[in-house]
């Protein structure tokens, strides 16, 4: 996300060094103030919430691990990495003892911790405009909900930490009686709190956040809450939330699909389909934003770019299933779907695609039938992958339209659902098949919707969770997945739906237990 007027230098000074002073040690570090010394005025309240947003761009969140946790376990890409963690994750055999599991865990609990501090302390600051205070609280609730939504989807029974630890018992939280449903209940509660406090946009608010459109708005909270209900199979509850986002008039489909994946800030900021995102830049500053406290030397790059790029780490590649699926239907003028060209890199001379990374296709040593990942990589330009500035989409409008269509179909209104599916297809210049889709049986419509979601959302962290909620992880459906991606040959139903809770965390915390994958 993009927040104007807040620099990394300011964040570094204000990132809340949350260790309070003791009687034995009362030395004040001006760069790491205790909560008692901080939270004195409106500026500090705003900076405290900005610090929560900062967690979005570290390795344990959207810089790399959160996309990989979803994409790697789906059937759209496979891993060829020399790093055993990535190949193990992608083939469902990573052990709980792998230390790299800590990266995701730590990143998300950093966000939870910063949100908890803001929620506890901002209400006690007198020098904050009342409406601004509500907006700040709403953002903190939204970001905590997002962190827990990710955590429980990936790890199941994670500990619910809802306040800053103030003693031994709260410092070692237990997850022994926590369930996925309990975490979802907290996520829903936080999102309801966020929706009641967030504005539709920041254009006309009165305060230091005026015009800062990258902050979480009401539509982001409504869309995420609708997604929670969708994942639960509660389509009736999801419907009005998606409808509210669509009917708000705040969002629209970008005219050009490829603009969704531009590193040009002007193009990115003009995109009407962005609802909530992690903001990365093309900075070449000296320190990489893998994690920890930010400073003025952070470059804020998207590490997913070298991870997926055939020109760099090349840790992942598209499956033949994805390649074939995305070539099934042609546009009205007989061309490949433009979303194919934004997602996959291949040699297509008839459509003018004969280069990769700024060079001739064959001069780079690629074969005529080779294909690679293009989305979120620098394949179109050949620019430095380690200063990649693609904003990573967390919630976008096309996904809301398709989730709304799914909810409509699941509640019996396939005709209305077909119209929203065709709306997404129109941007890709595909034939008008609305009437055909409207006449489909529920099973036929869901098969079509699955295809539409792949076309629109491939390699965006959605497919794995679609597979889970559509019951692909058992029986004949699992056999189908094995034909899509060999990595499913080592998937064990009932054990591998979640990744293990890091053993290092279990070793540190005597009250923490593992999950079915441990």
SS3 sequence of 2-48:
CCCCCCHHHHHHHCCCCCCCCCCCCCCCCCCCCCCCCCCCHHHHHHH
Per-residue pLDDT tens over the stretch 150-186: 999 999 999 999 999 988 878 999 999 999 999 999 9
In a domain? residue 348: yes
**Model pLDDT, residue 37:** 77
- Share above pLDDT 70 across residues of the chain, in percent, rounded to a whole number: 93
Domain membership of residue 372 (yes or no) is: yes
Give a yes or no: residue 369 inside a domain.
yes
State how far the Cα of 302 lies from the Cα of 185, in Å rounded to an integer.
32
Instruction: Name the residue with tokens 């039938």.
Output: 369
Check pLDDT > 60 for residue 2. Answer: no
- Asked if residue 63 is part of any domain, the answer here is no
> Would you place residue 21 in the very low, low, confident or very high pLDDT band (cuts 50, 70, 90)?
very low
State whether the Cα torsion 377-381-382-386 is positive or negative: negative
Q: Which pLDDT does position 32 carry in this prediction?
A: 67
Mean pLDDT on 427-451: 98
Average pLDDT value for residue range 384-396: 97
Inform me whether the pLDDT recorded for 9 exceeds 60.
Answer: no
Q: What is residue 168's predicted lDDT score, i.e. its pLDDT?
A: 80
The answer to whether position 385 is within a domain reads no
pTM of the model: 0.94
Q: Report the pLDDT value the prediction gives residue 170, as an integer from 0 to 100.
A: 84
Band (pLDDT 50/70/90 cuts) for residue 343 is very high
At 492 the three-state DSSP class reads coil
Q: Region 431-452: what's the mean pLDDT?
A: 98
- The pLDDT assigned to 26 comes to 52
pLDDT tens-digit map of 363-383 = 999 999 999 999 999 999 999
Of 45, 47, 60, 40, the residue nearest 14 (C-alpha) = 47
Spatial separation of the C-alpha atoms in residues 340 and 46, rounded to whole Å: 41
Residue 125 belongs to a domain: no
362 found inside a domain: yes
What is residue 11's predicted lDDT score, i.e. its pLDDT? Answer: 39
Query: Can you tell me the mean pLDDT for 106-125?
Result: 97
Using DSSP, state whether 202 is helix, strand or coil: coil
Q: How is residue 60 annotated by DSSP?
A: I
Reported confidence tier of residue 6, pLDDT bands at 50, 70, 90? very low
Residue with the two structure tokens 């296709």: 361
Residues 6+ apart with CB under 8 A from 334: none
pLDDT value at residue 295: 86
Distance CA 425, CA 423 (A): 5
Is pLDDT above 60 for 95? yes
Q: Please indicate, yes or no, if residue 411 is contained in any of the structural domains.
A: no
Please tell me whether residue 353 adopts helix, strand or coil conformation: strand
Residues 463, 70 contacting (CB under 8 angstroms): yes
User: What mean pLDDT is predicted for residues 91-96?
Assistant: 98
Tokens of 435: 């009437």
CB-based contact 75:320 (threshold 8 Å): no
Range of the domain at 369: 308-377
Tell me how far apart the alpha carbons of residues 518 and 80 are, in angstroms, rounded to a whole number: 24
Handedness of CA 437, 442, 444, 448 (dihedral sign): positive
Q: What integer is the mean pLDDT of 351-360?
A: 97
Number of domains in the chain: 1
């Amino acid at each position: 996300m993009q927040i104007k007027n807040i620099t990394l230098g300011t964040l570094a000074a204000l990132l809340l060094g949350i260790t309070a002073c003791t009687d034995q040690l009362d030395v004040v570090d001006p760069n790491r103030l205790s909560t008692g010394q901080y939270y004195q005025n409106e500026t500090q309240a705003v900076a405290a919430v900005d610090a929560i947003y900062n967690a979005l761009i570290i390795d344990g969140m959207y810089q790399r691990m959160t996309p990989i946790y979803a994409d790697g376990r789906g059937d759209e890409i496979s891993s060829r990495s020399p790093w055993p963690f990535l190949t193990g994750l992608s083939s469902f055999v990573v052990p709980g003892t792998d230390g790299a599991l800590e990266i995701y865990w730590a990143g998300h609990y950093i966000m939870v911790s910063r949100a908890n501090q803001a929620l506890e302390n901002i209400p006690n600051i007198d020098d904050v405009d009342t409406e601004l205070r509500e907006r700040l609280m709403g953002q903190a609730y939204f970001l905590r909900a997002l962190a827990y939504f990710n955590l429980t989807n990936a790890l199941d029974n994670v500990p619910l930490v809802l306040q800053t630890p103030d003693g031994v018992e709260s410092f070692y939280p237990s997850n022994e009686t926590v369930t996925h449903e309990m975490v979802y209940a907290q996520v829903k509660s936080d999102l309801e709190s966020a929706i009641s406090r967030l504005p539709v946009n920041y254009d006309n608010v009165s305060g230091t956040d005026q015009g800062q459109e990258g902050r979480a708005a009401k539509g982001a909270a409504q869309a995420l809450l609708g997604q929670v209900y969708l994942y639960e199979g509660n389509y009736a509850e999801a419907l009005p939330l998606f409808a509210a986002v669509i009917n708000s008039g705040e969002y629209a489909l970008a005219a050009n699909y490829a603009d969704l994946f531009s590193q040009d800030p002007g193009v990115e900021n003009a995109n009407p389909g962005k609802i909530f995102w992690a903001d990365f830049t093309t900075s070449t500053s000296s320190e990489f934003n893998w994690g920890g406290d930010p400073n003025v030397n952070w470059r804020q790059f998207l590490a997913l770019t070298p991870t997926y790029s055939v020109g760099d780490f090349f840790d992942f590649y598209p499956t033949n299933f994805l390649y074939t699926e995305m070539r099934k239907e042609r546009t009205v003028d007989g061309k490949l779907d433009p979303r194919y060209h934004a997602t996959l890199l291949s040699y297509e001379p008839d459509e003018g695609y004969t280069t990769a990374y700024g060079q001739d296709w064959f001069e780079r040593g690629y074969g005529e039938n080779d294909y690679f990942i293009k989305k979120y990589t620098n394949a179109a330009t050949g620019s430095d992958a380690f200063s990649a500035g693609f904003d990573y989409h967390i919630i976008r409008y096309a996904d809301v339209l398709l989730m709304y269509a799914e909810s409509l179909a699941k509640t019996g209104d396939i005709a209305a659902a077909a119209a929203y599916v065709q709306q997404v297809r129109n941007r890709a210049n595909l034939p008008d098949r609305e009437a055909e889709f409207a006449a489909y049986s529920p099973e036929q419509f869901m098969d079509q919707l699955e295809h539409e979601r792949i076309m629109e959302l491939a390699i965006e962290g959605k497919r794995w969770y679609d597979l889970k909620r559509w019951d692909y992880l058992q029986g004949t459906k699992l056999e189908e997945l094995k034909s899509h991606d060999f990595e499913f040959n080592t998937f064990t139903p009932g054990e591998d739906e979640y990744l293990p809770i890091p053993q290092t965390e279990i070793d540190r915390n005597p009250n923490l237990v593992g999950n079915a994958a441990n």
